[in-house]
Amino acid sequence: MTSAEDDPYDIEKCAQWVQTNALKQICLQFPDKLLPDAAKVALHLEKNIGQKVYILGDTTCGSCCIDEIAAQHINADGIIHFGHACLNPTIRLPVLHILPKQQFDIKKFSNEFKQVFQDNTRKIVFFYDVEYAYKIEHVYNILKPMYKHIVLSKLNCTSNVEYTDAKTTPDHVILGRSYTLEDEYSIQDYEGFFLGEEGKALAILAMSIPVKRWHCFTNNKISEFEASNVPWLKRRRFLVEKLKDAKTVGIVVATLGIKEYLMATRLVKEILKQKNKKTYTLCIGKITPAKLANFPEIDAFVIIACPENEIFDSRDFLQPMLTPYEVELAFNSARKFCLQYFMDFQQILPNGIHYVDFKPSMDTDISLISSDVRNCDDNTFCTDQMNELTIRSSGTVAIGMTGAQFLQDRSWRGVEQRLGEDPVQSAEIGRVGLACQYTNEPLNTEKCDTLT
């Protein structure tokens, strides 16, 4: 390993954190690109703390999120996360973030910043990508004497860059970042600046925070960023219309570690129930088009996930992939379309900064996609239990449709019991070997003999 000053993994700070908190079972979480260094880092840390550590070989959902579920397999009492992080708050375990370090020319950046913001009375909220956190103290000390109305955001985590960590629990947290404005001003009086490339983090911040305008530092140049004109946002509004037309909706829980994910799931389910949408709740780990294609009866999926999840940008899925905020846009008449767009579901929960009470609208309207009339069927019903009795508007009593009843109409249902239909047979020894070359396959056997 390199010296302490040049160590990108900050082994000394990792060891200090473990010993300060008296942790006994430690898990190390790496993104895929850093896994080649995982064994070296683990061995070095074990030598420093005098105890065994564990490496998480794979993540349940995404590499930027803390995988508490995998860590609980060994009853871990702490996690050290390396690499890019979404900074979503966790539920069960303490976490230390070892943030990456991206090299850049501070002097050149400072000169560019002064050139763009020549008026030093402008009010600026300064955000930054996590990979630039290790240089922020230096940057802020250069800019603060010149700009008296500059506000530096903090990271809502415990990391190897203590200067950027929020020391108290702030009221407003967006994408793991918090800021405190001057008392006499509101957020609409400020401009937003993001030190980092144009990407998911900047887009989410720009859509969530209503500042006058946004700037970012891309390719060593400061440019203005306009989030409301991106084609992605126009496609999201089309998907909201698709959700309104959907009869059956799947709620996919793509995180088991982000705080209040269960509250978000309940909120979405309750809204869909009030709109008489049949729902299925799924938890399938990492989401892929192949996994969700196994549910052809579902017309649209609502994803409870990290806001930086790439599935919202993908066009590979057969059905629309929507967020909890888009569920409210579709069915909550109190939630209106606006310039802001909240990918972080924690903002719209009852304790979030953009929560509004649910107000269903049963007014009849026309689908912009199928031209069908919506909200005109009084006979629709929804139940929580598969065997629950429901009273329709006509006064008739019926049993709620169950998933099992739907599966009976499928042409393929997988492996099912056929009790009394097939003769009883004794158990037999199955195939032996690897799937690519079972021992009872002559060609593969000859090939193996030739190789050996």
> Does residue 253 sit in the same domain as residue 332?
yes
Instruction: Give the model's pLDDT for residue 405.
Output: 61
- Answer yes or no: is 402 within a domain: no
Token pair in block for residue 149: 């109305």
Taking residues 250-254, report their average pLDDT: 91
pLDDT at residue 392 is higher than 60: no
Q: Cβ–Cβ contacts within 10 Å for residue 217, how many?
A: 22
End position of a domain, from candidates 365, 385, 402: 365
Task: Find the mean pLDDT for residues 378-392.
Answer: 50
123 with 144, same domain: the answer is yes
What is the structure's pLDDT at 411?
67
Based on the fold, state whether residues 22 and 127 are members of the same structural domain.
no
201 shares a domain with 308: no
Q: Identify whether residues 188 and 281 lie together within a single domain.
A: no
CATH of the domain at 174: 3.40.50
Last residue of a domain, one of 330, 345, 365: 365
Does 221 lie in the same domain as 114? yes
Token digits for 396? 């008739």
Residue 403 pLDDT = 54
- E runs forming strands in 1-123: 26-29, 53-55, 78-82, 95-98
Percent share of the chain, pLDDT over 70: 85
Same domain, residue pair 90 and 171: no
Asked if 273 contacts 379 with a C-beta cutoff of 8 angstroms, the reply is no
Which residues constitute the domain of residue 275?
A: 230-365
pLDDT tens digit sequence for 129-172: 999 999 999 999 999 999 999 999 999 889 999 999 987 766 67
Helix count and strand count (H, E) for the chain: 12, 22
Of the three residues 185, 209, 225, the one that is the final residue of a domain is 225
278-315 core/surface letters (b: 16 or more CB in 10 A; e: else): bbeebeeeebeeeebeebeebbbbbbbbbbbbebbeee
What pLDDT score does 3 carry? 42
Tens-place pLDDT, residues 6-30: 688 999 999 999 999 999 999 999 9
Q: In Å, what is the CA distance from 159 to each residue of 96, 130, 405?
A: 5, 10, 51
**Same structural domain, 46 and 162:** no
Q: What per-residue confidence (pLDDT) applies to 99?
A: 93
- The vertex-451 CA angle with 448 and 452, nearest 5°, equals 85
User: Which regions of 314-439 does DSSP assign to beta strands (E)?
Assistant: 321-322, 365-366, 373-374, 389-391, 397-399, 433-434, 437-438
User: How many domains does one find in the chain?
Assistant: 3
Residue 318 carries which DSSP code?
A: S
pLDDT for res 451: 47
Instruction: Count CA within 13 A, CB hemisphere, residue 249.
Output: 31
Per-residue tokens: 186: 């509101």
Nearby residues of 268 by Cβ (< 8 Å), 6 or more positions away: 251, 302, 304, 324, 327
Indicate if the pLDDT at residue 396 is higher than 50.
Answer: no
Name the nearest CA neighbour of 281 among 306, 262, 308.
262
| pTM of model > 0.75 | yes
Q: Are residues 112 and 83 in the same domain?
A: no
How many CB atoms are closer than 10 A to CB 387?
8
**Residue 33, helix vs strand vs coil:** helix
- The predicted pLDDT at position 433 comes to 82
211 and 320 housed in the same domain: no
pLDDT digits (tens, 9 = 90+) for 79-121: 999 999 988 888 889 999 999 998 888 999 999 999 999 888 9
pLDDT of 23: 93
Select the more confidently predicted residue: 110 or 220.
110
